[in-house]
Amino acid sequence: MALLIVQLLTGLANAMFLFLVASGLSLIFGVTRIVNFAHGSFYMLAAYLASTLVTALPLGPSSFYAAVILAPLGVALLGGLIEVCLLRRIYRAPALYQLLLTFAVVLVIGDAVKFFWGTENRTGPSPPGLSGSVPILGQLFPTYDLAILLLGPLFALSLWAMLHRTRWGILIRAATSDREMVGALGVNQTWLFTGVFVLGTWLAGLAGALQMPRVALTTVMDSTVIVETFVVVVIGGMGSAFGALLGAVLIGVLQAFGILWLPREFHLAIVFILMAAVLILRPWGLLGRPEAETLPPGGAVGLGAGGRLRAPGWVWAGVLLMAVALPPLLPAYYVWVLVEILALALFAASLQLLVGTGGMLSFGHAAYFGLGAYGAALLMKRAALPMPAAFALAPLVAAAAALLFGAFCVRLSGVYFAMLTLAFAQIAFAIVHQWYDFTGGDNGILGVWPSASLATPVRYYTLALLAAAVGLGFLWRVTGSPFGYTLRAARDHPRRCQAIGVNLRAHRLLAFGVAGLCAGLGGAIFAFSKGSVFPDYLSMPMSVQSLVMVLIGGIHALAGASVGAAVYKLLDIVITKYTGYWQAVLGGVLACLVVAFPHGLVGFVQARWTRMRTSLG
């Protein structure tokens, strides 16, 4: 019994940190409708900053407390700066661009932390006066955690008072429930947004600074915390600060008791299972309010002109000729790079069908790529199929998963859709990662090499080229088919589309299946080119990568995704070769793309081309 109570207190103390981070994210989302990936980065930054301030400030023991107050303020200031310089430009942009821009901020802050603090694990100093423990029911309980347990509710109360008793808070709540209304009230929306962003960032920073004496400071703190925070915010209800409190308590307690009662295989998956369950049963979260989503025209991804690239015939012929004739002349490594580009092109193009043509912002597309790869590996290693058979059947594994997950996802739209795809991808990731007996867990599956007759680079490239041609040709065909046009119609105006007899869910589900199939084919190509499969193939960074490729190419042209894949891969190679700060460079490129080339490279070239031709007459 004593154990249970102490475990409960432990879970609650952890929940208080989650609450601080999550309430900030939730407030920002509520008002600006931006899903801010960089939120975890501010948390990390504040923890590092606080640990440095403690030693730098000449205040003796009280420098700890000064640091805990100053670091979040510094981070909030930075948050304000980023809001004013970057985010302000994209509030009305489609959600995809917002996500990718905040992701660019994540990359840059991540590298900044590496640059200033190094990559070695650090520990923050203990809080003077609170570093000991007190006995509770015969168990020692850290004094600091106890203080946090008291402080947490205090913060929740002040937040409540701020939101309900001050003019500014009432404005925040009004903006959360109806954005247009605040504009009508004659409030300066710009500064309201900035203010909320600063407040939210400050909350993240506060949590980070307060965490400093408890945990290890690492360069991956940001991604660990942001994923948990998403879960909390989604469960509690996006935009609801008290939802964040409830979500945090649920997750904190669930984790504390999960350790005791759940088999270890479930530890990774449990929170995402909960997140998916909430999204399926009550998409707007436990305390959130359902709303008719006010999406920008064209839904989550913006409105694009065409679904297909109209390039002159000689461009296509040239590309084809190069693809066939060049590889035998290239050194082996470059042939492998081309194989990888083919795999990624399928991955990106299949996502383009969902995001560009279908207007469905999938945040977990790596699941289908990865399951294609695992399908290939498992069919070959566990079912002992010959390699060509495993290669051919693997996409079906991915398609089956896509149809299963898709059946739930297509019931939602916008950011809720994105979150549910993320949750499913994380569940798939957790299963692959933890099911050691079947998938090999994080050791992956090794020895997944092409059969002997296909093992030379050029031969495997030929197979990959054929497969990619079939896959991309299929996607191209689908985009131009009645199905594809109807999918675009459903993106442009869902209600209208329903009112011409289209079952939106069934239609979108079919798109999900097609995209899963093609992503799975990409995964199979990838698996045999690497000779191994790993859970990382299904991970969130991989999903983000696919979105980046689509964005680089331009979300509205199918060919764009392939170009995006090629440019992304080459950039990756060049950047990795010449600098250790590849993240920062990638982040910079990403930010430029969002701000300067919202329609991607292909869209940009196409526009220039059209303009040139019209000006030439």
Partner 1 sequence: MVETPLLEVRDVWKAFGGVQAVAGVSLTLPRGEVRALIGPNGAGKTTLLNLLTGQLACDGGVVLFKRERISGLPPERIWRRGISRTFQVTATFASLTVLENVQVAILSHQGRSRDLFSRTGRLAREAALDFLKRVGLEDQAENVCASLSFGDLKRLELAIALANEPELLVLDEPTAGMAPQERMDLMALAVTIVRDRAVSVLFTEHDMDVVFAAAERIMVLHQGRVIAEGTPRAVRDDPQVQAIYLGGLG
Partner 2 sequence: MRYPLSRPNRSGKLALAIGPVLVALVVVWLLGIPSRAGAQPPIRIGEINSYTGIAAGFTLPYRQAVEMAVEEVNAGGGLLGRRVEVLFRDDKGNPADAVTHAQELVFGEKVALLAGTFLSNVGLAVSDFARQNKVLFVAAEPLSEAVTWSQGHRHIFRVRPNTHSQGRMLAERAARLPYKRWAVIGPNYEYGRRAWETFWARLKELKPDVQLAGEHWPTLGKIEPSGYVTALLSQQPQAIYVSLFGSDWIAFAREAGKRGLFQKAFFVGILLGEPEYMEPLKLEAPEGMLVTGYPWYDIQRPAHKEFVAKFQKKADRTPVVGSLVGYVTFLSIFEAIRKAGSTETEKMVAALEGLKIETPIGPISFRPFDHQSTMGAWVGTTKLDPRRGGGVMVNWEYVPGEKVLPSEAEVRKMREAAK
| Interacting residue with partner 2 among 56, 137, 157, 332 (CB under 8 A) | 332
What would the two tokens of residue 304 be? Answer: 């694009």
Q: With CB cut-offs between 5 and 8 Å by kind, which of partner 2, partner 1, none does residue 39 bind? A: none
Pairing of strands 532-533, 445-446: antiparallel
Q: How far is the CB of 292 from partner 1 (least distance, A)?
A: 12
Q: Could you tell me if 257 and 11 are in contact, meaning their C-beta atoms sit under 8 angstroms apart?
A: yes
Provide the minimum distance between the beta carbon of 608 and partner 2 in the complex, in angstroms, as a whole number: 9
* Of positions 119, 131, 158, 503, contacts partner 1 by CB under 8 A: 503
In terms of CB distance, is 83 or 340 closer to partner 2? 340
- The pair of three-digit structure tokens given for residue 46, joined into one six-digit string: 């504040």
DSSP-derived secondary structure for 299-326? GGG---S-SS----HHHHHHHHHHHHHS
Applying CB under 8 A, among 507, 530, 569, 599 the residue interacting with partner 1 is: 507
CA–CA separation, 367 vs 360, rounded Å?
16
Evaluated on CA atoms 526, 530, 534, 537, the torsion sign reads negative
Query: Does the footprint of partner 2 cover residue 55 (CB under 8 A)?
Result: no
Task: Tell me the closest approach of the beta carbon of residue 302 to partner 1, in angstroms.
Answer: 10
Distance of alpha carbon 494 from the chain centroid: 25
Task: Tell me whether residue 548 or residue 567 sits nearer to partner 2 (CB atom).
Answer: 567
Residue with tokens 């020692």: 140
Q: Which amino acid is at 24?
A: G
Alpha carbon distance 428, 370 (integer Å): 9
Which CB, 205 or 356, lies closer to partner 1?
A: 356
Site residues (CB under 8 A) for partner 1, limited to 481-500: 481-486, 488-489, 491-493, 495-500
Size of the site for partner 2 (CB under 8 A): 95
Residue 486: name its binding partner from partner 2, partner 1, none (Cβ under 5 to 8 Å by kind): partner 1
Applying CB under 8 A, the span of 22-30, 137-145, 187-195, 491-499 interacting with partner 2 comes to 137-145
Select 241 or 367, whichever has its Cβ closest to partner 2.
Answer: 367
Which of the ranges 152-160, 301-309, 389-397, 489-497 carries the binding residues for partner 2, by CB under 8 A?
301-309
The answer to whether residue 571 forms part of the interface with partner 1 (CB under 8 A) is no
- The β-bridge partners of 142 are 133
Nearer to partner 1 (CB atom), residue 297 or residue 318:
297
Residue with the two structure tokens 């912002």: 361
Decide whether 307 or 587 has the Cβ nearer to partner 1.
307
Residues 450-479, mask of contacts with partner 1 (x by CB under 8 A): ---------------------------xx-
Q: Tokens for 369?
A: 């790529």
> How many angstroms separate the CA atoms of 301 and 294, rounded?
13
Residue 514, binding choice from partner 1, partner 2, none, Cβ under 5 to 8 Å by partner class: partner 1
**Residue 447 lies near partner 2 (rule: CB under 8 A):** yes
Cα separation, 513 vs 480, in Å, equals: 17
* Distance in Å, CB of 606 to partner 1, minimum: 14
Supply the DSSP symbol for 264. Answer: G
Structure tokens at 185: 């009230």
At 247, give phi and psi (nearest 5°): -60, -45
User: By CB under 8 A, is residue 97 in contact with partner 2?
Assistant: yes
CA separation for the pair 25, 247 (Å, rounded)? 13
Using the rule CB under 8 A, is 483 a contact of partner 2? no
- Please report which helix (H) or strand (E) contains residue 513, including its range: helix 504-530
- In the list partner 1, partner 2, none, the entry touching 372 (Cβ below 5 to 8 angstroms by class) is none
Site for partner 2 in 225-284 (CB under 8 A): 255-257, 259-260, 264, 267-268
Give every CB contact of residue 193 below 8 A, 6+ residues apart in sequence.
31, 32, 83, 88, 91
| 611 interacts with, out of partner 1, partner 2, none, CB within 5 to 8 A per kind | none
Nearest CA-CA partner of 538 in 331, 347, 364, 303: 364
Show contacts with partner 1 in window 307-326 (CB under 8 A). Answer: 307
- Cα separation, 589 vs 596, whole angstroms: 10
Place of tokens 């999903």: 543
Question: In one letter, which amino acid is 408?
Answer: F
User: Which residue shows structure tokens 């460079």?
Assistant: 585
Closest separation between CB of residue 578 and partner 2, Å? 8
User: x/- contact string, 287-306, with partner 1 (CB under 8 A)?
Assistant: ----------xx----xxxx
Q: Which is nearer to partner 1, 485 or 578 (CB)?
A: 485
Binding flag, residue 587, partner 1 (CB under 8 A): no
- Positions touching partner 1 (CB under 8 A) are 297-298, 303-307, 477-478, 480-486, 488-489, 491-493, 495-504, 506-507, 510, 514
